[in-house]
Amino acid sequence: MKPAISILGGDMRQSYLAQLLRDDGYLTVTWGLEGGGGDGGVPLDQALEGDLLLLPLPVCRNGMLHLPLSEAELEVERLWPRLRYDQLLLGGLTSELSPRLMADYGLTLLDYYTREDAQAANAVPTAEGALQLAMEASDRTIHGSRCLVIGCGRIGKLLAARLAALGAEVTVSARKYGDLAWIQAWGWHSVRTGALDGTLNRFHFIFNTVPALILDAARLREVREDCVILDLASAPGGVDMEEALRLSLRAASAPGLPGRTAPRAAAAAIRDSVYHILEERGELM
Amino acid sequence: MKPAISILGGDMRQSYLAQLLRDDGYLTVTWGLEGGGGDGGVPLDQALEGDLLLLPLPVCRNGMLHLPLSEAELEVERLWPRLRYDQLLLGGLTSELSPRLMADYGLTLLDYYTREDAQAANAVPTAEGALQLAMEASDRTIHGSRCLVIGCGRIGKLLAARLAALGAEVTVSARKYGDLAWIQAWGWHSVRTGALDGTLNRFHFIFNTVPALILDAARLREVREDCVILDLASAPGGVDMEEALRLSLRAASAPGLPGRTAPRAAAAAIRDSVYHILEERGELM
Amino acid sequence: MKPAISILGGDMRQSYLAQLLRDDGYLTVTWGLEGGGGDGGVPLDQALEGDLLLLPLPVCRNGMLHLPLSEAELEVERLWPRLRYDQLLLGGLTSELSPRLMADYGLTLLDYYTREDAQAANAVPTAEGALQLAMEASDRTIHGSRCLVIGCGRIGKLLAARLAALGAEVTVSARKYGDLAWIQAWGWHSVRTGALDGTLNRFHFIFNTVPALILDAARLREVREDCVILDLASAPGGVDMEEALRLSLRAASAPGLPGRTAPRAAAAAIRDSVYHILEERGELM
Amino acid sequence: MKPAISILGGDMRQSYLAQLLRDDGYLTVTWGLEGGGGDGGVPLDQALEGDLLLLPLPVCRNGMLHLPLSEAELEVERLWPRLRYDQLLLGGLTSELSPRLMADYGLTLLDYYTREDAQAANAVPTAEGALQLAMEASDRTIHGSRCLVIGCGRIGKLLAARLAALGAEVTVSARKYGDLAWIQAWGWHSVRTGALDGTLNRFHFIFNTVPALILDAARLREVREDCVILDLASAPGGVDMEEALRLSLRAASAPGLPGRTAPRAAAAAIRDSVYHILEERGELM
């Protein structure tokens, strides 16, 4: 029999996730998603009865369950004692919580977000969302422009491929020779991240994906005044935003991609990850 | 010696055009672009002294010069008598005006927009702008979606190529076997426009480029309720927008592309066309 | 009822064509294809009974039916009197024959090769065949090389797209501004054919598609000694092959593409063209 | 000062490598490459004087230095005592030799082939060579065909990208969910390697990159009779070649790629790897 699924809190991704799971025939209830456009959800007591509990991404901030679409507030510490050891908990960015929950409450909390499959699936709408934001911010076309992607991780690779496909001249930076060889193998120009100085004024678009201060004040003074800069790295990011503001550059950090630009695709990435976890555990689906 | 250029009216494309021409070293003055963010321009009398006069795209609506960025109003019929036969006039969509101007006033008015080079150069930012609008209108990614492009003209081809490059499954419709063979040669799925009925509910995105009523009420009732429909054809377009509204579909016409999403690229297309006209006439550049 | 089809002579494409038509359920007999690996065919008298007669591509050379796979010889003038006015004749490159046949014998001969759909469908395997020959001739990869495609017709476009997709830096030459704008719109570098002098030593691969002497002795002396040159234009081609030989350049003309590298695909292009002709005439299929 | 380089044995890649190093200004001598088209080389004694000794890829087979382009024979054990501890030895596939050389002779032998940069750079010409072989083996075009790539490692990825770019419908198999998610992220169809049974008759081309018996007798009986099968995995490969022969399938193993199809590109990959090793060791270049 298919497990009964409860979705507890989260943002628009969880709201879409509920719909996607129902489309696949799961009995799914929600709590804490009232502002997300679906039904009003069920009382918390009822939601806590599910076989599978889907927690937000991230599960909590400052000890509080992540509930941006709800008036409700809930300390996660109050949640755990109400759960049973035979329930399976899945959440996003759980590395700190997970061992403690097992030790203190005997609960199993797995992460649907940090797995490679989820990260890859999430990188697609992130890269496409970055493309959309870049188009919106610029009076140019990607076609015919010169683009720099700093960092050749998951998002960097997929973003570079899209920019090149739209007709940009694409340069990707990396630190290691292995990554530089891959950048060339994919057909892009490569540059060592340490050798960026003196090259930055070439670019019409700069996308940072590295979570370290790469575009500091000195480097920002090098870029073209009409350059569009997008920082895709997680906080605190890799762009000195204060200096960028001072220089009147079109720089923006783009947190919350792809939940913002393509929540349905982001939800589908979570859904697939959940299914893979269930399959690997031999759970019925 | 380089010709002195006057830009008379127009939208943001003409405002960018002034800047691009100055970047290339031309002495350029403007009139009727006060709201476009550049300098305030010169008095009309002075603007009319240019060797080369660049008129808007379109030159006029209902007999009035196209002046969306200005408080001024000017009947084009009042303009012609003030010009000299040795001035060269270039404008967009001039087919009706041009023969009459030559006959009545001895003026030479050429079209910088309907030439093949201008149309091709303009199709790039139009296709990219359509992509941007589609991304904005949808909670999905282009990646993994099924897209239909109706019509395989300039914009249809460049748009299909971009959608496919971003990972969509792309179908393009055309009427002629020659076009259908090209669609397949480019690697897309093909369908005869007359055979669209019964296939429309497959698509997450539908882009119309054909200036004829293709998506009528009956066909609109076939599409998915979450389909994004963009009509790129010039007015009156190819989508029954009233019926689309009644069905609560996410349908929009997208006039003014690429002036809206990439005015700089649209201006560059005009600039190149102007240069080609000058070169073909043996004018100094 | 489906028409009975006779295939009279031709090369490997006609041999594959017989198979493809049989796969689609047509009663098909052949004559003059004994060396093509199929069955031995039927006697000529029987072959001439078909409703639809498929003639070679080209139909004849010097008045003789094109029979490269047979020991037989047949003057085409002896063929026509034996046919009936209610039979439909389809052949390749028929422009000279066709009006005379109608006038002298009342026979209808249509061309399955010069139609736009056939030309487009044929350009795909031609471009891919050119790619294969270039790979075979070179000790380099296409990836990372600099390629010049002379001419932006059907084959030029599809070839340029393939070279770019494999990671080459691609330049395409054309004469008209409209074509040059399209070259840029597709994302390739453009150069006016008249301005090639002085640029040729950049390229590792040069593909000519223009049926005029572009690569004359003077220009050949400009190219790199390790450059691979392929002439895809129909005879007499666009490369001074004697001079290329004298300079020990790796230059080759590539006639007979795609019949040589992908006969099945070339046959499929003919088959589709035949079907389209039948459909346009309202014939049963 | 630049190091004096000696190239000892190897195949056409080493012959090209000598030329590439000379093009970069290195004093380079060769021994054991007489059949490779360059100069006749120097006596062994002289070759052993180099600061940097480049050994073949692989260094040896059955204890003998790999000398396919020479009449000479040389047991590697006789080589080591003649070298000095201050010389740097670089070879390909050295994992077994390397620790012992250090222990027994104090010699430093590093591998220019198994590094990530060399593997990535080598995967490009390997993938392109596989494409060439597939084109040569088939009467079809890649365009419009259905291709299966078994395995999503370096070569699998680059090959899949090329096949898709040429217009094939591409499926890639992998075992892990993370890899499957990446396959989808790149826009290809994915299938679990374990679930291949029952799908194999769809494909016109099958490329194996996995060094395990994937295409065993049972699975080979499933493939189309006109399918082209290329085994790119290192010996013993992943295709039951005896069974393939019995079934008259067009199956071939493709060892020695890219040395065979693009030796210059393969040599350039080695050259870059050598430079990176020198730079990382702080050697002068």
Q: Please report, in tens digits, the pLDDT of each residue of chain B (285 residues total).
A: 788 999 999 999 999 999 999 999 999 999 999 998 878 899 999 999 999 999 999 999 889 999 999 999 999 999 999 999 999 999 998 888 888 888 889 999 999 999 999 999 999 999 999 999 999 999 999 999 999 999 999 999 999 999 999 999 999 999 999 999 999 999 999 999 999 999 999 999 999 999 999 999 999 999 999 999 999 998 889 999 999 999 999 999 987 788 889 999 999 999 999 999 999 988 755
Residues of A with Cβ-Cβ distance to C143 under 8 angstroms: 185, 187
Note the pLDDT of residue D109. 94
Cis peptide before A58 (omega within 30 of 0): yes
Which residues does B280 contact at the CB level (< 8 Å), separation at least 6? Answer: none
CB contact under 8 A, B261 and A131: no
* C–D CB contacts, 8 A cutoff, strictly below: 72
Cα A144 to Cα A128: distance, rounded to the nearest angstrom: 18
Which residues does A201 contact at the CB level (< 8 Å), separation at least 6? Answer: A222, A223, A224
When pLDDT is averaged across residues D16-36 and rounded to a whole number, the result is 95
Decide: residue B77, CB within 10 A, 0-12 exposed, 13-18 middle, 19+ buried: exposed
**Whether pLDDT at D285 is above 80:** no
The full set of domains in chain C, from first to last, is 5-114+263-280 (3.40.50.720), 123-253 (3.40.50.720)
For C123-146, write each residue's pLDDT tens digit: 999 999 999 999 999 999 999 999
Note the pLDDT of residue B60. 92
Enumerate the β-bridge partners of residue C150.
C173, C208
Residue B239 structure tokens: 């989508």
Decide: residue D43, CB within 10 A, 0-12 exposed, 13-18 middle, 19+ buried: exposed
**Whether pLDDT at A255 is above 80:** no
CA separation, residue C251 to residues C156, C226, C270 (Å): 18, 10, 30
Note the pLDDT of residue A82. 95
B265 CA: distance to closest CA in chain D (Å): 27
Cα C112 to Cα C89: distance, rounded to the nearest angstrom: 10
**Backbone torsions φ then ψ of B5, nearest 5 degrees:** -115, 130
Angle between helices D154-165 and D116-137 (to 10 degrees): 40
CB contact under 8 A, A128 and B136: no
Tell me whether D231 touches chain C (CB under 8 Å): no
**Whether pLDDT at C284 is above 60:** no
CB contact under 8 A, B141 and A125: yes
Question: Of C158, C184, C276, which has the smallest distance from its Cβ to B185's Cβ?
Answer: C158
When pLDDT is averaged across residues A9-21 and rounded to a whole number, the result is 95
Strand order, beta sheet including D28-31: D28-31, D5-8, D52-54, D88-91, D108-111
Q: Determine the residue type at C217.
A: A
Residue of chain D whose Cα is closest to the Cα of C122: D141
Question: Of B143, B167, B187, which has the smallest distance from its Cβ to D167's Cβ?
Answer: B187
Question: Of D138, D144, D261, which has the smallest distance from its Cβ to C135's Cβ?
Answer: D261
DSSP state of C205: E
ipTM over 0.85: yes
Q: Model confidence at D97, in pLDDT bands (50, 70, 90)? A: confident
Residue A91 structure tokens: 């959440």
Residue of chain C whose Cα is closest to the Cα of A184: C144
Residues of C with Cβ-Cβ distance to A143 under 8 angstroms: 185, 187
**Whether pLDDT at A192 is above 90:** yes
**Whether pLDDT at A284 is above 70:** no
Cα D226 to Cα D221: distance, rounded to the nearest angstrom: 12
CA C136 to chain centroid, in Å, comes to 20
CB contact under 8 A, B262 and A136: no
Note the pLDDT of residue B61. 87
Cα C54 to Cα C68: distance, rounded to the nearest angstrom: 16
Enumerate the β-bridge partners of residue C169.
C146
Q: Which residue has tokens 């260094």?
A: D59
Cα A249 to Cα A222: distance, rounded to the nearest angstrom: 11
For C166-196, write each residue's pLDDT tens digit: 999 999 999 999 999 999 999 999 999 999 9
CB-CB contact of C124 with C118 (8 Å): no
CB contact under 8 A, B178 and C116: yes
Residue of chain D whose Cα is closest to the Cα of B145: D187
**Mean pLDDT over the full length of chain A:** 94
Cα D196 to Cα D215: distance, rounded to the nearest angstrom: 10
Q: Determine the residue type at C158.
A: L
Note the pLDDT of residue D284. 55
Q: Determine the residue type at A68.
A: P
Enumerate the β-bridge partners of residue C149.
C172, C207
CB-CB contact of B90 with B113 (8 Å): no
DSSP, residue by residue, B212-226: S--B-HHHHTTS-TT
Mutate to test the interface with A, among D155, D175, D177 (most CBs of A within 10 A): D177
Mutate to test the interface with D, among A113, A117, A190, A275 (most CBs of D within 10 A): A117
CB contact under 8 A, B178 and C117: yes
Residue of chain D whose Cα is closest to the Cα of A155: D185
Tell me whether A270 touches chain D (CB under 8 Å): no
Which residues does D12 contact at the CB level (< 8 Å), separation at least 6? Answer: D36, D69, D259, D263, D267
Residues of C with Cβ-Cβ distance to B185 under 8 angstroms: 120-121, 123-124, 158
Note the pLDDT of residue C285. 53
Question: Of B124, B135, B258, which has the smallest distance from its Cβ to A128's Cβ?
Answer: B135
**Whether pLDDT at D147 is above 60:** yes
For C199-235, write each residue's pLDDT tens digit: 999 999 999 999 999 999 999 999 999 999 999 998 8
**Mean pLDDT over the full length of chain C:** 94
CB-CB contact of B147 with B202 (8 Å): no
Interface of D with B in 166-195 (CB under 8 A): 167, 184-185, 187
Interface of C with B in 62-121 (CB under 8 A): 115-121
Number of H helices, E strands in chain A: 10, 13
C-alpha atoms less than 13 angstroms from C-alpha of A99 in its C-beta half-sphere: 2
Cα A228 to Cα A210: distance, rounded to the nearest angstrom: 17
Question: Of C123, C158, C185, which has the smallest distance from its Cβ to B123's Cβ?
Answer: C185
Enumerate the β-bridge partners of residue B148.
B171, B206
Q: In chain B, how long is the greatest CA-to-CA distance? A: 62
CA C58 to chain centroid, in Å, comes to 10
Note the pLDDT of residue B241. 95
Instruction: Show the beta-strand stretches assigned E in D75-168.
Output: 88-91, 108-111, 146-150
**Whether pLDDT at C149 is above 60:** yes
Question: Of B143, B144, B187, which has the smallest distance from its Cβ to D143's Cβ?
Answer: B187
Of the spans C147-156, D36-45, D246-255, which averages the highest pLDDT?
A: C147-156
Interface of C with A in 130-159 (CB under 8 A): 143-144
Neighbours of chain A (3+ CB pairs under 8 A): B, C, D
pTM of the predicted structure, to 2 decimals: 0.94
CB contact under 8 A, C143 and A167: no
Cα A33 to Cα A68: distance, rounded to the nearest angstrom: 8
Which residues does C112 contact at the CB level (< 8 Å), separation at least 6? Answer: C54, C57, C90, C91, C92, C118, C270, C273, C274, C277
Q: Which residue has tokens 């063209």?
A: C273
CB-CB contact of C109 with C234 (8 Å): no
Note the pLDDT of residue A102. 87
Question: Which is more confidently placed, D215 or B62?
Answer: D215
% of chain C residues with pLDDT over 70: 99
DSSP state of B240: -
Q: Which residue has tokens 């493309």?
A: A131
Residue A117 structure tokens: 């499959």
Report the 10 Å Cβ neighbour count for A190. 18
When pLDDT is averaged across residues A206-226 and rounded to a whole number, the result is 96
Residue of chain C whose Cα is closest to the Cα of B125: C185
Neighbours of chain B (3+ CB pairs under 8 A): A, C, D
Residue of chain C whose Cα is closest to the Cα of A189: C144
CB-CB contact of C232 with C130 (8 Å): yes
Question: Of A135, A136, A262, which has the smallest distance from its Cβ to B140's Cβ?
Answer: A262
Strand order, beta sheet including B146-150: B189-192, B169-174, B146-150, B205-208, B228-231, B250-253
D178 CA: distance to closest CA in chain A (Å): 4
- DSSP three-state, residue D156: helix
Note the pLDDT of residue A99. 85
Which residues does D68 contact at the CB level (< 8 Å), separation at least 6? Answer: D10, D11, D35
